[in-house]
Structure 1
Amino acid sequence: MKKTFFIFFLLSGLLFQAQSQRFTYEYKYRIDSTAKDKTETELMILDMTPKGSKFYSKDYFESDSLMTAAIQKQAKSGNTDFNFSGFKFRGKVRYSVEKAYPAYSVNFFTTLGSDEYLVQDGRTQNWKILPEKEKVENFITQKATCIFAGRKWTAWFTTDLPIQDGPYKFHGLPGLIVKIEDENLTHTFELKGIKKLPDTYDWKSKKDKERYNPLITLNETKYKKAFNDFRADPMKSERQMMAQGVIIEERDDSGKLVDPEKSRREQEKKMKDRIKKENNPIELDLLK
């Protein structure tokens, strides 16, 4: 009986992975651990294809696509003085995560200032599967726990969706992760929607995206150093660009040129003030 169930689970899992599916998660998180009454909410997308998955912010992805289209349109017209006045990015979650099947190797894409990083993360989650079950979004789910990136996590997975994936970098359970939260309830992902993607859908890796500056590839250990270096000096890359002769022009609402040095000082102060409040990253061990 057990062997028959295993074969059924394997075959149904292969069938499920052969389809391209989109899972929408609601992500609730607290940026500042001291501001207990302020919780951010963002819709996140987990796209699964036979070759892998991609996890990203719905709003930020749409804004980035609009920005890319605007750049291409202005470039085709011969305009090199790009004008983005009035354009505002939506979405506060700027990272994305890609997992390649069947190994579930993880690539994490993020930015620090003007630098864009690809972080090759070789860590895995050592799950402890528990007997407790709970109904989450019409699914009968089972409980599992792990310690990952400085936090203790509780996940609820369902074998009704037999694929070993989930939001963010989480994977490795015998079914889709429907809900996962840290023990302090400051980071929570919960499944809210599922739809089948067209057979022609085939997402491209973010590493193949056209970009002006080279993508910096690191492992998670070296990224931790870059992360803390940025927190200590968030304007370093901008100063290096200016030292190389790159001219960054800014204009106020009236169209008047803004003094670059004054603007840099004001921006640096704003960034340092913001960084102080960003004391509760999803990977808490980045700060240790």
Structure 2
Amino acid sequence: MNKSLFLFFLLSGLLFYAQNQRFTYEYKYKIDSTAQDKTETELMILDVTPKGSKFYSKDFYESDSLMKAAIGKQVKNGNTDFDFSGFKFKGKVRYSVEKTYPAYSINFFTTLGSDEYMVQDGRTQNWKILPEREKVGNFTAHKAVCNFAGRKWTAWFTTDLPIQDGPYKFHGLPGLIVKIEDASLTYTFELKGIKKLPNTYDWKSTKDKERYNPLITLNEVKYKKAFNDFRADPMKSERQMLAQGIIIEERDDSEKLIDPEKSRKEQEKKMKDRIKKENNPIELDLLK
């Protein structure tokens, strides 16, 4: 890219950063490689502000907000035993991604069991821009490819939206990524909507939210170990709580106490069965 064109994108991007924008993506993925006929679909949000962006699940965010409101209401009414009967969390994607401008430093927020992590991802995305163009929605998009996190990705970006960002951790192209998919076509993000947010809008980082347990901060290398340790022993943190004398009472529909050891074994089986099916993560190199 020549110097004058680069300056054009830089200045356009700075003007764009001055606005608060919300981009909605349709996310399609197949987490189980043995069930190729089963595709999960979820709406994801990319909020862009002058200081950075945040990517998260629309349904999970709305469910989380409703849960916090319900807790606040019960606390206000003096309740100490919270009642969440009938409440069901929507959204299967529980992680979020934050990028800080202008460095595009990436923080990935996720949970493993009862532990919450902030993963500082310092990996680079070395894009190769190709001559092909394609219509994505109302935009003429340019093609680019790169290898990232164990997959080969093809992205389509538009210079009509001069911001070097995109869904998930993807960024670094001279325009917003409006569509991106991996070579196996098991992971796809595609832009479906754009909304201007109020100038007063200011998202708060997940790292600053109130929590009972401390946030665990790791880089992507150490997180890989934690990820695979959890897959091998998903109930480790629960056993540690029991060893410390922390017992969470559970009751059945008749209000009869459930044996904690029996409950732990049943939960462990369910978690191991679920983990076995989650064999095709978006970052494939986590399993290598």
Q: What TM-score results when the alignment is normalised by the length of structure 2?
A: 0.97
SS in 2 for 1:87: coil
Q: What CA deviation, in whole Å up to 9, does each residue of 1:132-161 have, x standing for no partner?
A: 000001100000000000000000000000
Unpaired runs of 5+ residues, structure 1, are none
The 5 Å alignment of 1:35-54 reads 35-54=35-54
Distance 2:5 2:123 in 1: 30
Contact 2:25 2:192 in 1 (8 A): yes
Distance 1:171 1:73 in 2: 40
Per-residue deviation, 1:81: 2.3
Per-residue deviation, 1:252: 1.9
1:137 aligns with 2:137: yes
Instruction: Give the aligned length.
Output: 287
Report the more deviating stretch, 127-136 or 67-76.
67-76
1:240 aligns with 2:237: no
Contact 2:9 2:174 in 1 (8 A): no
Q: What TM-score results when the alignment is normalised by the length of structure 1?
A: 0.97
Q: What CA deviation, in whole Å up to 9, does each residue of 1:161-198 have, x standing for no partner?
A: 00000000000000000000000000000000000001
Report the more deviating stretch, 242-251 or 140-149.
242-251
Distance 1:242 1:15 in 2: 54
Percent identical across equivalent pairs? Answer: 87
Moved over 6 A (4+): none
Per-residue deviation, 1:3: 5.7
Distance 1:177 1:128 in 2: 14
Structure 1 partner of 2:71: 71
Distance 1:71 1:275 in 2: 30
Amino acid at match of 2:148: F
Distance 1:163 1:262 in 2: 53
Distance 1:120 1:68 in 2: 27
Distance 1:86 1:253 in 2: 13
Distance 1:52 1:235 in 2: 36
Per-residue deviation, 1:260: 1.2
1:24 aligns with 2:34: no
1:106 aligns with 2:109: no
Distance 1:68 1:81 in 2: 15
Per-residue deviation, 1:75: 2.9
Report the more deviating stretch, 237-246 or 275-284.
237-246
Distance 1:151 1:94 in 2: 21
Per-residue deviation, 1:71: 2.2
SS in 2 for 1:141: strand
The 5 Å alignment of 1:260-271 reads 260-271=260-271
Structure 2 partner of 1:157: 157
What value does the CA root-mean-square deviation take over the aligned residues?
1.2
Report the more deviating stretch, 10-19 or 214-223.
10-19
Per-residue deviation, 1:244: 1.5
SS in 2 for 1:177: strand
Distance 1:85 1:272 in 2: 26
Structure 1 partner of 2:93: 93
